[in-house]
Structure 1
C-alpha cells in the first residue's frame, strides 16, 4: 500500500485534481451510454486531466468496463470511487487499480483492503476516524464532505497530525473554487457532480493552464 500511496501523492503533486465520473442508473442497458462515457474521458484527457475516478457499480459488467477503460486510456491515472462494502472491495481485487476511495471510514473494509494490498483512501469527517486512519498506515486522507466541513476542520487535522499527511478535499467542490481551496491548505481536490456532465467548464480550463 505504501508504494501506491507514494505514487498517488506524486501524481497529485503534479496535478492536484481528480475528476469523478459516476455511471447513470441505466448505464448498462444502453450501449450509447458507454460511448458517451468514453467521449467524456477522452475530452478530459485532451484538456490535460491526469487523474480520473469511475464510480463503483454493482452490475457484473462493471469490472469489464473498468478493464476496457484501463486499456483504452493508458495515460490516465485511473481510480474507483465509492468502495464502501465487501462486495465493492472484492470486485476491484483483480483490477490492479492504482487507487480507490471510500466516502467514509469503515475499519473492517480498510483492514481487508490493506490485507489485499488495495489502496482504499478513507473518507474522514471526524477526528476519531482520522486518528484511526493514521494508525492503519494511511498517509493520504480524503476529507468528505469538504464543502460542509470547511477549512477549519482541515486545520484541526493538520494541527493533530504526527507525520506528514496528504489531504484531499471532496464533496461539493466547484471548479471556480479550486485555487482558493488549494491555497487554504488542501493538497489535492476531487470534483464530480458540481462539474456539469463531468466535462471541463471555463473555470476548469483556466485552472488547467497552470498544470
Structure 2
C-alpha cells in the first residue's frame, strides 16, 4: 500500500483533481448509457483530466466495465468510488486499481484492504477517525464532506498531524472554489455531482490551464 499511496500523491501533486462519475440508474440495462459514459471519459481526457473515479455498482457487469475503461484510457488514473462494504472491496481486488475511496472510515474494511494491498482511502469527518486512519498507516486522507466541514477542519487536522499527510477534499465542491480550497489547506480535491454531466465548465477550463 505504501507504493500505491506514494504514486497517487505524486500524481495528484501534478494535477490535484479527481473527477467522480457515478453510474445512472438502469445503467447496465441500456447500452446507450455505456456509450455515453465512454464518451464522457474521452471528453474529460481531452480536457486534460488525469484522475477519474467510477462509482461502484453491485451489478456483476461493473467489473467488465472498469476493465474496459482501464484498457481504453491508459493515460487516465482510474479508481473506484464508494467502496464501503466487503462486497465492494472484494469486487475491486482483481482489478488491481491504483486507488479507491470510501465515504467514511470503517476499520475492518480498511484492514482488509491493507491486507490485500488495495489502497482504499478513508473518508474522514472527525478527529477520532483521523487518528485511527493515521495509526493504520494512511498518508493520504479524504475529508468528507467539505461543504460542511470547510477549511477550519482541515486546518485543525494539520495542527494535529505528526507527519506529512496528504488531504483530499470531497463533497459538494464546485469548480469555482478549487483555487481557494487548494490555497486553504487541501492538497487535492474531488469534483462529483457539482460538475454537471461531467462536462467541464468555464471555471474548470480556466483552472485546468495551469495543469
What's the TM-score once normalised by structure 2's chain length? 1.00
Write the mapping of 1:139-150 to structure 2, written as runs, cut at 5 A: 139-150=139-150
Aligned-residue offset at 1:199: 1.2
* 1:166-205 aligned within 5 A: 166-205=166-205
Q: SS of the residue aligned with 2:179?
A: helix
Deviation string 1:108-138 (CA, Å, 9 cap, x unpaired) is 0000000010000000000000000000000
Give ranges in structure 1 of 5+ residues lacking alignment.
none
TM score, norm. by length of structure 1: 1.00
Q: Deviations over 1:29-87 (max 9, x none)?
A: 00000100000000000000000000000000000000000000000000000000000
SS in 2 for 1:94: helix
The two structures, once aligned, show a CA RMSD in angstroms of 0.4
Taking the aligned partners of 2:199 and 2:118, their CA distance within structure 1 comes to 29
Correspondence for 2:112: 112
CA distance in 2, matches of 1:142, 1:132: 13
1:21 alignment counterpart: 21
Give the paired residue count.
Answer: 211
Q: CA shift at 1:165, angstroms?
A: 0.0
CA distance in 1, matches of 2:194, 2:89: 26
How far apart are the structure 2 equivalents of 1:202 and 1:31?
A: 30
1: CA distance, partners of 2:131 / 2:100: 20
Q: Distance in 1 between matches of 2:180 and 2:16?
A: 13
- 1:90 matched to which residue of 2? 90
What is the CA deviation profile of residues 162-203 of structure 1, one whole-angstrom value per residue up to 9, with x for unaligned ones?
110000000000000000000001000000100000111111
Query: What residue number does 1:154 align with?
Result: 154
